[in-house]
Amino acid sequence: MKNLILSFITLLLLLAIRNTEAQSLNAPKPEKNFFQMRDEILKQVEKGKEENFINEEEREKDNAMTKFKRWEHFMLPRVGPAGTFFEPDAVYNSYTNYYSNHTQNKSLFSNTWQAIGPFSDFGDVTQSYKLGIGRMNCIAQHPLDSNILFVGTMGGGIWKTTDAGLTWTCLDNNLPSMSISDIAINPLHPDSIYAATGDAIGNYFGLSDYHQGHYSCGIILSTDGGTTWSQTGFNYQQVERQNIYRLVIDPVQTSNLLAGGDSGLYRSTDAGATWTQLDTTRIYDIQINPLDASKYYAIVNSGFKLKRSYDGGATFNITNTSNFFGNGMARVRVSAADTSKIFVVRGSGVLVRSINGGQTFQLVNNVGTLFNHQGDYDKALVLSPVDTNLILIGLVPLVKSVNKGLNFAVIDSMDSYNNGLHVDFHELEFSIFNSNTLYAVNDGGVYVSHDIGETWTSLNNGMNVTQYYKLSSSNLNPEMILAGAQDNGPHLFNGQNWNVLIYADGMDCSFDKADENTAYASIQNGFVYKSIDGGITYPNLITPAGFYGDWETPHLANPINTNTLYLAGIKSMNPLLKAIHGKLFLPY
């Protein structure tokens, strides 16, 4: 499959809306409404094609335009006829307002609902492949106990395991933001855990309302291993539209913390109570030298420069006079096996290396020209702590080099799902206890490998964090449910077990009103599949060639004449297709 030469995220940069200077803590409402913003983005896409910025077709799934379509689908029914954006804290405020006015009904309300799942990865009926449980953003390891891990999810809060991932517990369902972008654990007092709130990778920079998750509420702290949480001195309101990308703790002076986000680089020397701003430009990543805690590296100036500190993070100076290759978000890593080399991966997968402390960088490999990527959305880099030859990069697929980055090979991808490993990677981390053990978090969840990435095991058992677009139940058997999941396909629940039906983004789905054996499931852009065995298998694509629907294309069965199915398309294509006996025809 072909990929974008210029990602959609780069196109957003062409809009020249990004601001590399300090952002106001009370960010103004965007001047453009939703419709103006959407039109401007699409014009830039067309301009890119005309000027050959984009000269290859997009991939069918999870390309940059896919991210835009998800945003458009989420926003369109929520902005009203005038296109006015809602406040980012609207959901949290509604939640807190409801409970403040219904305190007497809390126990009654909590007993009304019961989660039915899914609670783990599950496959199709034949178990020939599996998809994931839902997107994870970050992972953190307990410094003294290899069985204890923490993960931060896109919208499901913070989860903890005490048995190496066999089971998980959600730590708090009432956090000010259930999106978590990073977690840092005090290495000397591991019951002290810090979490950066917000969905940084889902909140596209440059457009203040281009978000699919929650903006940051700042940094929160637990001093009892994650049981309870409180706000630190780093505090945002969601209306400020801020993101935090990275949070680190000094391994020696553990009261010292650094946080990097949209509005710059911040340092605390009193365990998070107060913070000092060290830099006013967007900070994507921070790395502490694994053998010398006095040396810090930070990706600054929206990913163009590296800043270095040799005094434990107190002061930073730019090292590279020339900008990095590539565009957009970057990750910086230094291996304990050779701390003289600094690696950075940027934009679409451009890997560069410095051998002189960051003063100059040389191109190692433009990985994004060989493998599918999504610009700033999926970006992970890890270096082996013991072998200087081993480098792994997570883009859409997970790729590995055994010769210092000169060549990369796919370990797993959307076309090969070995052992059920999902795609779209957000963090990779070697175990601090075993250099052969590697953790990965991606759009499917959290996974572990005990052979440096060759084979993988899902650790998603017990986490119910799946995000659904649509839901439908059988008229004849209410326990039968069809649901379309983001990134993880349409699902079937038969009252006891879950099955994944089609590999894609799951969308609208329905049962025949008179025959529960006839069911319809769809994926993005109006591709509808028909089942005649109660949704177990979907061998028949009934969308005709030439039809192209919207991102989430609705379909509707006639409740009286159940052989008639309606499918609505976008205005620029056939506006309405009518299906008789499960086959689609042009309007008549």
- Convert the pLDDT of each residue in 122-158 to its tens digit: 776 555 566 789 999 999 999 999 999 999 999 899 9
pLDDT digits (tens, 9 = 90+) for 547-586: 778 888 888 888 887 778 888 775 434 444 445 444 444 3
Instruction: Classify strands 468-473 and 330-335 as parallel, antiparallel or unpaired.
Output: unpaired
Query: Max alpha carbon distance in the chain (Å)?
Result: 75
Flag the least confident range among 67-76, 171-180, 190-199, 284-293.
67-76
User: Alpha-carbon distance 104 to 315, whole Å?
Assistant: 52
| Region of poorest pLDDT, from 19-33, 234-248, 411-425, 431-445 | 19-33
203 pLDDT band (50/70/90 cuts)?
low
| pTM for this model (two decimals) | 0.84
Q: Which helix (H) or strand (E) holds 45?
A: helix 34-50
Mean model confidence pLDDT for the chain: 82
Give the list of residues 6+ apart from residue 336 with CB closer than 8 angstroms, or none: 290, 291, 385, 386
In SS3 terms, 353-418 reads as EECCCCCCCEEEEEHHHCCCCCCCCCCEEEECCCCCCCEEEECCCEEEECCCCCCCEEEECCCCCH
Helix/strand/coil for 108: helix
